[in-house]
Structure 1
Amino acid sequence: MKDYSEDYEYSTLDFYRKNHGLQLYYSWSGDISWTEEPGKPTEKLFSIIGMNATKVFLKPHPEYGEVGHRINRELGLFCHPETQEILSYWKPSEERQEVPVVHIANRLVQGSLQEKKVVIPKGQGYVTSVKEIPLEYPHPLAADSKYFDYCPGETFKGVEYFTSHVSRPGVQEAPPAKWARDCPWMPWMKLGYGHPARLRFETTIQRVESFEQLEPKLVKLVRRRVPIYEYAPSESDEPNMTSILYFKKHFESYLMRDIFPMEETY
């Protein structure tokens, strides 16, 4: 019988202490729907399968004493919503041109967080947190006319939602984490400047014990085309990658209708 008779205080840095320097893996999957225009019904557009190869560290900090630091390699593959086949090309409608699908391939994403204390009240095995993060910034493609057909507007406006759970030691019944995102259409969709289509990502995230326990199609693709994604580095001075910056970096390959993700090695 588990003892929930007292409040339990959890530090967000406990995870970093426990897993300092270890190679971790996260599997995520779900659906992407779109509202093509205001007033139109929301429709399922893609399925998505993804992974993060992650390392975490506890690091000293001059102001906070210590912080948790996370280094990720992140991959997400857009799939046919019914067959689950990994897509190489997409045709939005009979009238529009087929375009290459540029999968999410964030070679490096890293960041730090300061300690936060979370109290799990007596009688509860875990608590749930929903974090809503508004996103608004100048669209990275808006300033260059060659990206005119690939940019939804001057400003990127979206919201990310992270649903996570903090558990007492030994508690296993907390549901999996979730990540959702409301955002404009992706540049590779080539819908034309100012097109009003909006996307909604809905995914579930689970930690797995090894790379081989990730989605088999993803494991096969990584080892064939992008082996660098199997492991996260212990340190890196590379800038963080985003989907829009990746599209911009490989724009010429996109125009040549190459297959994504582009091959990457160490």
Structure 2
Amino acid sequence: MNTSVPLDSPRQQLDALARTRADLSGADVPVWWTGDVYVNAPGEAYRHLFGFEGLNVARVVPTEDGYDLLSREIAFYQDPRTREVLDTWSNPWTGEEVRVCHVTNDPVNQRWTLETRWGPFRVPTTRLGDRICFNMDIPLAYPSPLPVAEFPDHSADDTYRALELFQFFTSAGALADESLTSVPCELSWARLSPWLPWMRMGDRPGGLVFHTRGVKLGSYDEVPETTRVQIDAHYPEYASAPEAWSEPNETSWTWFRRHLQGSPA
């Protein structure tokens, strides 16, 4: 089998990433992941705080200069030992019992264009034997939706700073077959982030490390039961991708502000 994959031009890279991450036919593509969340704080041992399991459902829509990726995602914080979904959490630093706010981000949309503000579209790739890895390292720094003056119990900085690290792995043989609109994909995702707003950590130094791995599924029916039961019972809209572009994107920080979890100062 010919496993030569042309990835020289922006168009080739964009189409290859779209086939790996989603499906050029426009079908809904579920991506499920599981992993863990750890404490990263100065002077403290790394501590396993939560299990973390979730689902993103996306579809691509062709545009004049690329694709719109339309998606929404949901994820649940779990007891690190039993993996049961948490409703409340006892903060070991403050002794306070707080409500757990799971991830319900709708939308999480992206515009992939052949020309970007940094130049022609490029995504780093690495050949690993018969596998190809696309990686995206995304440092973030922007004004926080939760200014400290308004949310002193929930925010330690007026700037949101995080590092998101994505890797998407696929078969070179599958990607070389141009008749396939979608190719199999496994992924890893890691994030270094501040404390979550609902943890009520105030200005305590430190933050969190998320470390997950996941897989692209053929349909929503293949989502593992631990995730699917929660979605079917409480969040049925997260079983499918959005129908149309909307903005701005939702994050745990913007969701928290909109719902005014806790009492702003």
The two structures have a TM-score, normalised by structure 1, of 0.81
| Residues 23-45 of structure 1, C-alpha deviations (whole Å, 9 max, x = no match) | 1111011010012x302111111
Tell me what 1:189 maps to: 199
| Residues 12-65 of structure 1, C-alpha deviations (whole Å, 9 max, x = no match) | 224647523211111011010012x302111111010100111111111xxxxx
Deviation at 1:190, TM superposition (A): 0.2
The answer on 1:33 being equivalent to 2:11 is no
Alpha-carbon distance change, 31 to 8 in structure 1, aligned in 2, over 3 angstroms: same
Tell me what 1:104 maps to: 103
When the two chains are superposed, the root-mean-square deviation of aligned CA atoms in Å is: 2.8
Tell me what 2:154 maps to: 150
Once the two structures are superposed, the pairs formed by residues 50-129 of structure 1 within 5 Å of their partners are 50-60=54-64, 66-93=65-92, 95-115=94-114, 116=121, 124-129=129-134
The answer on 1:12 being equivalent to 2:14 is yes
Moved more, 160-169 or 121-130: 121-130
Could you tell me how far apart the structure 1 residues matched to 2:211 and 2:14 are?
A: 25
> In structure 1, what residue type is equivalent to 2:88?
Y
Alpha-carbon distance change, 228 to 158 in structure 1, aligned in 2, over 3 angstroms: same
Could you tell me how far apart the structure 2 residues matched to 1:221 and 1:120 are?
A: 35
Tell me what 1:132 maps to: 137
> In structure 2, what residue type is equivalent to 1:53?
V
8 Å CA contact retained: 2:170, 2:185? no
Count of aligned pairs between the two proteins = 244
Q: Which runs of 5+ in 1 are unaligned?
A: 61-65, 256-266
> In structure 2, what residue type is equivalent to 1:70?
L
> In structure 1, what residue type is equivalent to 2:28?
Q
Tell me what 1:261 maps to: none
The two structures have a TM-score, normalised by structure 2, of 0.82
Moved more, 240-249 or 157-166: 157-166
Once the two structures are superposed, the pairs formed by residues 178-257 of structure 1 within 5 Å of their partners are 178-192=188-202, 194-252=203-261
What secondary structure sits across from 2:153 in the alignment? helix
